[in-house]
């Protein structure tokens, strides 16, 4: 279980880098957009960011839970 969660966490962290790049590109695009266009970019991007943060939070909670049950040093699936 612990190994699986660590692998999942690593994969999510890799995707987080792509999300950061997307946020940067969106910020650059918003700078040259009208208010209406900017809103069309910001709203779905905010939703993606919220879901990403929730995923990170859930993985962290599960990792803490697994560690507290003393499974950190065992290969349990």
pLDDT in tens, 13-58: 888 889 999 999 999 999 999 999 999 999 999 999 999 999 888 8
By residue range, what is the domain housing residue 20? Answer: 2-68
Whether residue 20 is contained in a domain is answered as yes
In a domain, 73, yes or no: no
Answer whether residue 70 shows pLDDT above 80.
Answer: no
- Contact assessment for residue 10 and residue 59, using Cβ atoms and an 8 Å cutoff: no
Instruction: Give me the phi and psi of 75, to 5 degrees please.
Output: -95, 85
Its pTM stands at 0.72
39: in domain = yes
Say if residue 7's pLDDT is above 90: no
Number of domains in the chain: 1
Residue 58 belongs to some domain of the structure: yes
Inter-residue contact 76 to 1 (CB < 8 Å): yes
């Amino acid at each position: 279980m612990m190994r699986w969660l660590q692998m999942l966490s690593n994969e999510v962290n890799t995707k987080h880098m792509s999300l950061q790049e997307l946020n940067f590109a969106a910020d650059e695009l918003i700078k040259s957009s009208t208010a209406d266009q900017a809103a069309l970019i910001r709203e779905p991007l905010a939703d993606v960011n919220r879901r990403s943060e929730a995923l990170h939070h859930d993985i962290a909670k599960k990792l803490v839970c697994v560690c507290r049950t003393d499974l950190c040093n065992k290969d349990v699936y």
